[in-house]
Structures are given as structure tokens and as C-alpha cells.
Amino acid sequence: MTVIPSGGETSGPIAVIRPSSTTTAPPSKAGAETGTTWAPVIAKELLMAPTVRGGQGASGRAAAAASGRNTDSWRRASGWFYRRGMAHRSDTWPTHERSERPWRSTVRGCRDDRLVTTVQVSLPPSIATARWTPDDDTVALLDRSATALRALDVHHGSRLAPLGSVLARTDALASSRIEDESASIDDLARALVGIRANAGATAVVRAGGAVEHLVSGADSGTVTEVSLLEAHRLLMRDDPVDGRYAGRYRDVQNWIGGGATPRDAVHVPPPPELVAPLMADLFAFVHRVDLHPIAQAAIAHAQFESIHPFTDGNGRIGRALIGAVLRRRGVTTTVTAPVSAALAADRRRYFRHLEQYRDGRVTGFVVDLALAIGTVCDEATLSALLLKEHDADLSAGPCASGPHAVVGRALADDPVLTEAHLDTLLTADEVERVTHDLVLAGVLRPVTGRRRDRAWVAPVVVAELEAFEQRVHAAVGGRERTAA
């Protein structure tokens, strides 16, 4: 195992708007740090932490120990920021305005709902040229987070890239949990191969396709309206309620929270006639190069959620936009970091940041996304190392040679195998013999319970993907305890 010092794996400079002077920390609870800058402490606690790269002879236990060091550093950095009121600092970001619009209910609700004749809508500001100036400590955190993401992409992309669809589904699964949708791995496998599955699994599979489409589309260096609308179409095309709106902006007023009317809504997005111009402004913002990529991704997501351009699916498309911005800026080239796993670990804080954004407070979410990316990178690094060890175990054991080796290589690309796919690699007799052997060896597990159109999952890989999400959830929970 090789330990790379901080800063040793960057692939180029990151453009940022830096403050002209060092920011002084506000008083702590004990007042001990008053008058001192944060940056030296952040450098000691986080920026000097090593980034782990898998090398020859790296063991899972060693990888776990090293990954734990970094995760603890992210937790301490989080505590440092949160104890000092990071989320409540004054920002220069423009606030949302409010406007009263006439309202006429089209459904028969309670008496109070029927009496509603006007609604207060939120009007997001233009951000195409808006400026946000982070302090030195936030810049340091953003740089370290981007370095960790680039290191993951460079050093482990070769193992994780073939699992791009799986990582996209992992991100989609976590993203869907934020929307109160969930599914088991076996249900996902059945949905992937076209076998009847529950609605949650089908929705997650569609969300995974949308994430892949939007992020891979940014490989060209642009995030286009066409790509975003197609991602939404992929997500919503089979929805029984909103399928007719799939792939197009809403032409109706929507709201978040409340009931049959926006009377008690938490947020009422702008009216439909403003959606297209606000989205054009957002695309202009996304293509700027003067902001740090992670800050740009956070702000783009928050602005997208404020606009809420679709009748449904806004959260999942908006979180996919984070990965698309990072891909467009070149922070990633192969890996889609499933940051939704970290955001889903504390939904209340995530929604609170979106509310604060509407008040012009953007730093809290920028910092939280940077911490989320750092945590996800640590845990994804550990997953990559463990999966490489698993690949080596298969190559030396049950999948050492012949048709068994063919299946072993296929499993490295996707932990879900279908009979139709195996039929393109092996003869019918070989499929029967190899799947029988690998099921007995615990390398495969059948998920369909049928004689035709069968499918199998790799339980070790699936277990690691589930463990990844659990570790991220625990790390974010630990971050909360550290910050308390």
C-alpha cells in the first residue's frame, strides 16, 4: 500500500475566487480560538491527512485502517466548521425574492384551502454572474475534497469505472431514499433484467439510468438542456402520474409540503412562465470557470431545487446535476461519486441547507457537500481495494481458468449477471456447469427463482456496496456527534 501526501495527486489547478485577506475565526464556546485563523488547524486536522492508494500487497485490513484515518480527519474538520457557526456565516450570495400571485384551486379541499386566493411564490435570483467569495478555510477544504475525488478517479478508476452503472444505481438508491423510495438489491436485480419487481426498484433503476446519462453527457465539457431533459425523460417516462410530463419543464404551479393547495407549503417555486429563463440562467452559471468546481456543483444543485422545474423528479435530477458539474470541470473522468449516500444520511440537515440557500446563505451547503465528497471518497477507496482483493481471490480460486474465468471477468464489470448475457459468452452447457459451480462456491446467488430468463448476483460485491453505504451513513453520523 502506498500513502500519497496531500496535494501529490492533483491533475491541474482549480480556479477559485480567493478572499483578499485571512478570515478570523469567530469566538468559540470557550473563547480559546478567538483571533486565530482557522486554516492552520484545518491543515493540521485534514489537509495533512494521507490519501490512500491501493498497491501491490495491499490488504483489506490495512486499507480499512488507512481509510479510517482519513474519515476521522473529515469528522474533525466537520466539527471545527460546525462548532464555529459555519452554516450561519454571512454570505454575499443574493437572496430569493417573494411575489404574491393569484391562486385558484382546481381540487376540492378543506374550507381553508378553498378560501386561498393568492399564493406567495419564491423568485430565485439570477446567478449567471453572481459572485461568492469563500474564506481561506473553506477554500482549503474545497481543495482537499477535490484532491480526494481526483485521487479516487485516478488511482481506483480502473476498478470502479467498470462498475459505473452500479455506482450510478448506488447513488440513485440513496437519492431515492431521500424521496422515501427504496428497494432491496434482489429487487433491483430483478428490475434490471426486466423481471417483475416492486415500484421502488423500478424507480431506482430508472434513476440510475438518468444519473448515468446526465453525468456521461458532461464528458463533452458541457451540461446541456437537451441532456438534462433526456435524463428527466428516462427517470419519469413510466411514471403513472407524471409520465406525461417526462422530459419537459412544468407548465403548472407546484409546491413543496402543504396539502391540496400551497397554503401551508414549505416552498413555492417560481411560476411556470419563469422556469425556462431561470434554467437558461442556471446553465450559464454551470458553464462558468471562475468558481471552485465543488462550490459550483453545490450552488447549481441548490438553485435547481429552488426553481423546481419539473412536476416530479426534481430531487433526483438535481442531485445527478452535482456529478455532471464535477465531470464537466474535469474533477472526475470515470467515477461517479455517489454523494447522495452522504446527503441521505442526514436528510434534515440537507433540507435545512436548501432553505438557507433561499435566504442567501450558501456556505453551509458548500462546506457540507465538500465534507460529503471527502467521506464518500474515503469509503469508495476502501471498497475499491476490497473489490480488487476479491477479484484476486476469484482469479486464484473458483474463477481461475476456462469458462469460470470468463464469468469472473464478467462479474468484475457488473455484479448482476443475466442468462442472456452469459449465453453470449459461453455455450449452454458451460452456462449450466459454471453457474452451478459458482453458486455452490458462494460466488453467485440466484435471484429469480425460475428456470428461464435467470439472473444471479455476486453476493460479495453486493454486500460491499451495501457496506459502503452503511459506512458513509455511520461516518456522517459520527460527523454530527463530533460537531455537537
pLDDT of residue 91: 76
- Confidence band (pLDDT; 50, 70, 90) for 84? low
Q: Percent of the chain, pLDDT > 90?
A: 48
- Confidence band (pLDDT; 50, 70, 90) for 422? very high
**Mean pLDDT, residues 33-53:** 43
pLDDT (tens digit per residue) in 225-256: 999 999 999 999 989 999 999 999 999 999 99
Q: How far apart are CA 221 and CA 23, in angstroms?
A: 34
Helix axes 164-178, 314-328, angle to 10 degrees: 140
pLDDT of residue 82: 66
194 pLDDT exceeds 80?
no
> Which of 24-28, 173-177, 449-453 is predicted least confidently?
24-28
Whether 66 and 1 have beta carbons less than 8 Å apart is answered as yes
Give domain limits for the chain.
86-382, 390-464
457 pLDDT exceeds 50?
yes
State which of 85-89, 112-116, 179-183 shows the largest mean pLDDT: 112-116
217 pLDDT exceeds 90?
yes
Nine cell digits for residue 1: 500500500
* Residues ≥6 apart with Cβ < 8 Å to 274: 123
CATH class of the structural domain 86-382 = mainly alpha
pLDDT (tens digit per residue) in 117-159: 889 999 999 999 999 999 888 999 999 999 999 998 888 877 6
**Mean pLDDT, residues 447-473:** 86
DSSP for 119-184 reads EEEEEPPP-SS------HHHHHHHHHHHHHHHHHHHHHHHHHGGGHHHHHHHHHHHHHHHTT----
pLDDT of residue 438: 98
- Confidence band (pLDDT; 50, 70, 90) for 173? low
Q: How far apart are CA 25 and CA 33, in angstroms?
A: 7
pTM score above 0.95: no
**Mean pLDDT, residues 166-181:** 68
Common-topology check for domains 86-382 and 390-464: no
- Confidence band (pLDDT; 50, 70, 90) for 72? low
> Which of 231-245, 404-418, 450-464 is predicted least confidently?
450-464
- Confidence band (pLDDT; 50, 70, 90) for 208? confident
43 pLDDT exceeds 70?
no
Q: Grid cell 376540492 — which residue?
A: 108
Please give the mean pLDDT across all residues of the chain: 80
pLDDT of residue 167: 64
Whether 79 and 479 have beta carbons less than 8 Å apart is answered as yes
* Residues ≥6 apart with Cβ < 8 Å to 56: none
68 pLDDT exceeds 60?
no
Q: How far apart are CA 323 and CA 41, in angstroms?
A: 29
Higher pLDDT, 246 or 174: 246
> Which of 47-56, 85-94, 400-409 is predicted least confidently?
47-56
193 pLDDT exceeds 60?
yes
Taking CA 339 as the corner, what is the angle to CA 16 and CA 173, rounded to the nearest 5 degrees? Answer: 155
Strand partners, 457: 416, 445
- Confidence band (pLDDT; 50, 70, 90) for 338? confident
pLDDT of residue 3: 29
Q: Which of 388, 468, 413 is nearest to 57 (CA)?
A: 388
pLDDT of residue 390: 92
Return the CATH number of the domain spanning residue range 390-464.
1.10.10.10
